[in-house]
Chain A
């Protein structure tokens, strides 16, 4: 499966000024019974967006009419911590979020973003705060991945990104297909060597 390439992105940004937003907040566990990965947007931030009776909680930042469907989320430190559930990214992408700006992320969540065409930008706390203020003021953002810049009103900020991950996002590359196409021989060579040095990993195969 190839991904939708990511080049530039423009639009409003939602601001969730909170640290340690874990994947249980982003995608509550009881919805993990759903085995499809499409159409999960209903459950994104579910218990923050909705009261138990299903009515919306107007105070929750993502429920503000101005940022409904916003492609960008500005938030605090350690975003996406906890469970590795990729549903967190799938559900956010399904409500239209394609770029997250935060001070830090959990490692698993960060990797999951790239594998789903979502750009997680890491910036120091003061810059995140400035962008958060801009987002709250309703200023439109413009993200330019090739140039690695964020424009928001009078703010113009550069961001860092791993060059290989940048290329993968720009081209919508699928990591598995890339590995199979470019590393097949190396994988076979590794297995041949490992079978010699650690034969027990091959001879005591798990049985049915």
Chain B
């Protein structure tokens, strides 16, 4: 009786190193401009070549401008992207050009290109690599030195994780999405709750999720401290992968799919920890603090640290409330915002944009709020435009941008000034994450869209129910 994680681990074990460690074969690596320059430099310094350059895929996403695509004005960003292009050329790594239709956030384009497949190991010098676990791939973030090791040896030494299963039952209420499941899960088990575990999300509610929803959920696993989030491959995943540029074709496709069908966790396999989540209990969630477990339902209030029994969590809450400029006991819906960011590898796929567009259609962003939509990839942007979503957003007062990491990481000019406050579909509400002194509230695309319309955090369900009454 084996779990999905066991099967992925065992099928990639090159050598058992004892002590729970193994040398794990890495099938694919995504490469971006921020964590790769030092990895390529290490290759050059050691006069090494890539063992299988064709298993890597490079793209620029972190530092790129999103207002336009004709030039990069920031000289540092320009030279960083140029260095990636040069390295890709020198080491024969496939590269998706910045102006091309394949460009986008690594974790959006990997699946889009069919580089991400069920049953593989895939890494990237980026913690959000958990995303690809949605396909039943062993996917995890690594540092630059490890990235260089993968380039040279196609392997990494890894310690086997413990196994956690999150059983998700029930169905999502109106305007509740995978992001809310993720935030509620992290709030429940804590930002350290999944450290040392490989987390498998399972149950009927997961089977019912789209690939976009599964990617959102798996991506957020890192914010609970785990490097690995998994969903077993099924017909939903196969339908997504089939026909993609790099996906197997013809007889190879049939053989691959037969292999992938053997991957799901065996009935009766044992997990080290099981967590049950009933979706009936989950309301739209927002973060109020500066760690991703400082989250509450939108119907709630900023907590009073004095009432938090755990000393460490109390200290963290006090610090967070100070940084965030909030008042203990304040209603979450009373928090006014200055910015809306719809984007990031967590929530920038076409499904996310459709859901947000539905909320802002025939409405307008509140006065004083700057709102941007940054599609996860050039292909997502093109798809959205073919559906007219760009016009819905721009008519509602949103800026419609080119693909990139943008305000999730704040490496380009998409960042806030001190004291400004965002409703953001990204994944980290850390101090200074969206600019020095900037304040971030994490939420789903529909919640961020609704906040933009209202000018403050708001329950998207109220916004839409008012409308229904008006129409009636």
Contacts and interface: CB of A to CB of B under 8 A. Distances in A.
A33 B37 contact: no
Interface string A92-116: 0000000000001011100110011
Contacts of B225: 78, 81, 106-107
A89 B248 CA distance: 39
Contact of A33 (B54, B74, B117, B253): B74
Contacts of A52: 418, 436
Interface centre among A24, A47, A187, A200 (most CB of B within 10 A): A200
Contacts of B410: 29-30
B191 A20 contact: yes
A56 interface: no
Given A22-B430, A186-B14, A77 B144 contact: no
Nearest to B24: A190
A74 to B, nearest CB: 16
A183 interface: yes
Contact of B191 (A81, A89, A111, A186): A81
A19 B409 contact: no
A126 to B, nearest CB: 12
B471 interface: no
Contacts of A108: 127, 141-143, 227
Nearest to B415: A30
A104 B14 contact: no
A116 B145 contact: yes
Contact of A78 (B63, B125, B191): B191
A203 B117 CA distance: 14
A206 interface: yes
B101 to A, nearest CB: 15
Contacts of B253: 200
Given A86-B35, A199-B255, A204-B249, A187 B25 contact: yes
Contacts of A201: 27, 117, 120
B57 interface: yes
B300 to A, nearest CB: 21
Contacts of A25: 430-432
B109 to A, nearest CB: 11
A1 B411 contact: no
Contact of A20 (B37, B63, B195, B291): B291
Contacts of B153: 176, 179-180, 183, 187
Contacts of B191: 20, 78, 81
Given A106-B225, A177-B46, A82 B149 contact: no
Nearest to B14: A190
Contacts of A4: none
B214 interface: no
B247 A204 contact: yes
B472 interface: no
Contacts of B125: 84, 86
Interface in A44-100: 47, 52, 76-78, 81-86, 89
A19 B37 CA distance: 31
Interface string A135-179: 000000000000000000000000000111000000000011101
B155 interface: yes
Contacts of B41: 37
Contact of A187 (B17, B63, B119, B154): B154
Interface in B4-43: 14-15, 17, 19, 21, 23, 25, 27, 34-35, 37-38, 41-42
Contacts of A206: 54-57, 94, 113, 115, 246
A197 B144 CA distance: 31
A11 interface: no
A1 B42 contact: yes
Contacts of B321: none
Nearest to B190: A78
A76 B249 CA distance: 51
Contacts of A47: 431-432, 436
Interface stretch (B76-84, B229-237, B455-463): B76-84
Nearest to A115: B145
Interface string B302-322: 000000000010011001000
Contact of B312 (A35, A77, A85): A77
A180 B138 CA distance: 23
B149 A33 contact: no
Contacts of B79: 35
A132 B409 CA distance: 32
B157 A112 contact: no
Contact of A107 (B148, B227, B411): B227
Nearest to A184: B153
B252 A111 contact: no
Interface of B: 14-15, 17, 19, 21, 23, 25, 27, 34-35, 37-38, 41-42, 45-46, 48, 51, 54-57, 62-63, 74, 76-77, 79-80, 83, 94-95, 113, 115, 117, 119-120, 125-127, 141-146, 148-149, 152-155, 157, 191-192, 195-196, 225, 227, 245-249, 252-253, 255-256, 259, 290-291, 312, 315-316, 319, 409-411, 415, 418, 428, 430-433, 436
Interface of A: 1, 18-20, 22, 24-25, 28-30, 32-37, 47, 52, 76-78, 81-86, 89, 104, 106-108, 111-112, 115-116, 162-164, 175-177, 179-180, 183, 186-187, 190-191, 194, 197-201, 203-208
Given A32-B34, A179-B149, A191-B25, 10 more contacts: A22-B428, A33-B74, A33-B77, A35-B80, A83-B409, A107-B225, A176-B48, A179-B155, A179-B157, A200-B256
Q: Which 8 A-B pairs have the closest CB atoms?
A: A200-B248, A35-B37, A33-B76, A86-B143, A112-B143, A115-B145, A84-B127, A200-B252
7 contacts: A35-B83, A77-B192, A84-B143, A108-B127, A187-B14, A187-B154, A199-B252
